[in-house]
Chains A and B, each alone.
Chain A
Amino acid sequence: MRRSRFPFIVTLAVLFFFYLPIIILIVNSFNASRFESGWQGFSLMWYKRLFHEPEIWRAAKNSLLIAASATAVSLIIGTTAAIALHRFARSRLQRFHFGLVYTPLVVPEILMGISLLMLFVAAGVELGLFTIFLAHVTFCISFVAMTVLARLQDFDESIVEAAQDLGAGWWATTRRVFLPMLLPGLIAGGLLAFTLSIDDFVITFFVAGPGSTTLPIRVYSMIKYGSPPLINALSTLLLVLTFTAVAASQTLSRSRR
């Protein structure tokens, strides 16, 4: 039977659609022109200018601080959630628990942002880095829990039982068998939480206070009011960073196997 070429053509067209804006953005970051009207020669001036913007670096520092702490806390809470969901799977409490962990994944971000804002306003908590941290932990928990849960469901329970049968105590089983087997899930969940936290704009925007600017908030105000070429340069830089990070984590996980 002759296969239609139509699906292939659509795939190519969509890939073009996916890459077009990003390629134009990267090319423009090396454009000497101030406006996006035509090529005026290769230049690194926007990158140089970037290093003289202390606001950006302060925002980046805030973002890293929040991402690191939110990842640590959500990793603990998300992992205990996954263990509970896995071990006591059929109980009534866990059915409610699963719903509670799952729902934040499907709720639009703006709803989580506005509801947390209402909580903080009603409770009289001052908005700032701390409220951003609380919000980030909240949405990261669900992603960590789902990632770790998938890993738990994949692995062979009989190995844990075998360790116990061979005389290993609770602590030895946990440390020598359970945790090493869980590790890939923990790494994946942690990386996911970190990226989500670094990238989040909508929820952060609602619960941020004066002086608690994160990198995405800074990028947003640059898009709204700033100079486009500077954002092009910053975006290209972030792109290179993400690519190296993902490539590194992929090589790491490959060499582990």
Chain B
Amino acid sequence: MRRESRQKIRETLVSFPSLFWLSLFFIVPTLFVFAIALKPANPYGGIGSGWTWDNLRSLVSPNYLAVAWRTLWISLLSAALCIVLAIPIGYYLARVTARWKGFFLMLIIVPFWTNFLIRIFAWKVLLHPEGAIKKALAFSGLIGPQTSLLYNAGAVVLVTVYTFLPFTILPIYAAAEKFDFQLLEAARDLGARRLQAFARIFLPGISRGLITAVLFVFIPALGSYVIPDIVGGPSGEMIGNKIAQRVFVDRNLPQASALSVVLILSVLAPLVTVLVLQRKREKPESLL
């Protein structure tokens, strides 16, 4: 009994620094966001006194709804494109010899050592009206000279895919690495066509990697701010841009909080769904 209570004290002591820090700088700030969403703004860019539903009510405007809808479809489309590209790459990496595997993994990771802003900037240059891609496409007649590649939702999807694709390749590759490829051969021997074996044996076999991969794009994409800010223009704006505008342009912190509440809830929804589904099957730690 005494030994147990000593153990308890030791546990509390070792856990204290991180519990304290993350409570103060992660839990409490999140609660503040919820609280401030219910506060009125004051004219000096601060937070007024009293409570109000106005910030939340004003979210139901056509403007915000359009942005919310765009945020959702851009994130879904980006996640879908990342998965479609990452599956064949994960499959290839899992089957190639060890030396080539290391080489290709290195090649995939290296570009992402560069700063995030710089990669987005590189795309801005590429998609620019004077840039290489625009010129090539216009020359080949695929697009008219007036078509703009930059400052639209399409550019946001492209750069989002570029940014998050490695984070989808890695979990899919990790899952494919554990997959027993003899199962595919067995399926073929039993008369399955190639695509059939792929869709009914391989994809279910790597389902855990697929789920992780989808979350790795979908969740950060929902909260995207820099990508639409640099390549999106007004027609590519997402919730993140609206939050930033409320903070930096018209300094309405309660309105920014209300928007953040929506974002928090929409991030939690897919996360909780997956965690609940996974807990039913196994321990939740395996999400990483």
Name A's B-contacting residues (CB within 8 A): 1, 3-4, 6-8, 10-11, 14-15, 17-22, 24-25, 28, 35-37, 76-78, 80-81, 83-84, 87-88, 91, 93-94, 97-98, 100-104, 106-112, 114-119, 121-122, 134-135, 137-138, 141, 145-146, 199, 201-202, 206, 216, 219-220, 223-224, 228, 231-232, 235, 238-239, 242-243, 246
**Is there an interface contact between A10 and B88, defined as CB atoms closer than 8 Å?**
yes
Contact pick for B118, options A94, A118, A206, A231, CB 8 Å: A231
A-side contacts of B226, CB under 8 Å: 201-202, 220
Q: Which B230-272 residues have a C-beta within 8 angstroms of A? A: 230, 240, 243-244, 247, 253, 256-257, 260, 263-264, 267, 271
Contact pick for B107, options A15, A114, A118, A223, CB 8 Å: A15
Q: How far is the CA of A135 from the CA of B21 in the complex (A)?
A: 11
**Is there an interface contact between B26 and A219, defined as CB atoms closer than 8 Å?**
no
Minimum Cβ distance to chain B for residue A241 (Å):
10
16 contacts between A and B (CB under 8 A): A10-B85, A18-B111, A21-B125, A22-B119, A24-B125, A24-B126, A25-B121, A87-B11, A88-B15, A97-B15, A108-B222, A110-B243, A110-B260, A111-B267, A137-B21, A228-B121
B-side contacts of A97, CB under 8 Å: 15, 18-19
Contact pick for B125, options A18, A28, A111, A246, CB 8 Å: A28
Minimum Cβ distance to chain A for residue B95 (Å):
8
**Is there an interface contact between B130 and A111, defined as CB atoms closer than 8 Å?**
no
Contact pick for A101, options B22, B47, B116, B126, CB 8 Å: B22
Minimum Cβ distance to chain B for residue A160 (Å):
15
A-side contacts of B89, CB under 8 Å: 7, 10-11, 14
Q: How far is the CA of A175 from the CA of B239 in the complex (A)?
A: 50
**Is there an interface contact between B91 and A7, defined as CB atoms closer than 8 Å?**
yes
The dominant DSSP class at the B interface is helix
B-side contacts of A18, CB under 8 Å: 107-108, 111, 162, 165-166
B-side contacts of A108, CB under 8 Å: 219-220, 222-224, 240, 263, 267
Contact pick for A14, options B85, B125, B130, CB 8 Å: B85
Closest 5 CB pairs of A and B: A108-B223, A21-B122, A115-B29, A81-B18, A7-B92
Minimum Cβ distance to chain A for residue B150 (Å):
12
With CB as the reference atom, state the residue of chain A lying closest to B131.
A36
**Is there an interface contact between B123 and A119, defined as CB atoms closer than 8 Å?**
no
Whether B185 is near chain A, meaning CB under 8 Å from some CB there, is yes
Whether B5 is near chain A, meaning CB under 8 Å from some CB there, is no
- Category for how many chain B residues contact A: 35 or more
Whether B140 is near chain A, meaning CB under 8 Å from some CB there, is no
Our count of residue pairs bridging A and B at CB distance below 8 angstroms stands at 226
**Is there an interface contact between B11 and A93, defined as CB atoms closer than 8 Å?**
yes
A-side contacts of B14, CB under 8 Å: 80, 83-84, 87-88
Whether B117 is near chain A, meaning CB under 8 Å from some CB there, is yes
**Is there an interface contact between B28 and A10, defined as CB atoms closer than 8 Å?**
no
With CB as the reference atom, state the residue of chain B lying closest to A121.
B253
Minimum Cβ distance to chain A for residue B162 (Å):
7
**Is there an interface contact between B92 and A81, defined as CB atoms closer than 8 Å?**
no
Q: How far is the CA of A18 from the CA of B188 in the complex (A)?
A: 34
A-side contacts of B215, CB under 8 Å: 106
A84-B11, A100-B19 given as contacts; is B122 within 8 A of A24 (CB)?
yes
Q: How far is the CA of A88 from the CA of B226 in the complex (A)?
A: 40
Minimum Cβ distance to chain B for residue A14 (Å):
6
Q: How far is the CA of A137 from the CA of B18 in the complex (A)?
A: 11
A11-B92, A15-B108, A88-B11 given as contacts; is B194 within 8 A of A4 (CB)?
yes
Q: How far is the CA of A73 from the CA of B256 in the complex (A)?
A: 30
Whether B225 is near chain A, meaning CB under 8 Å from some CB there, is yes
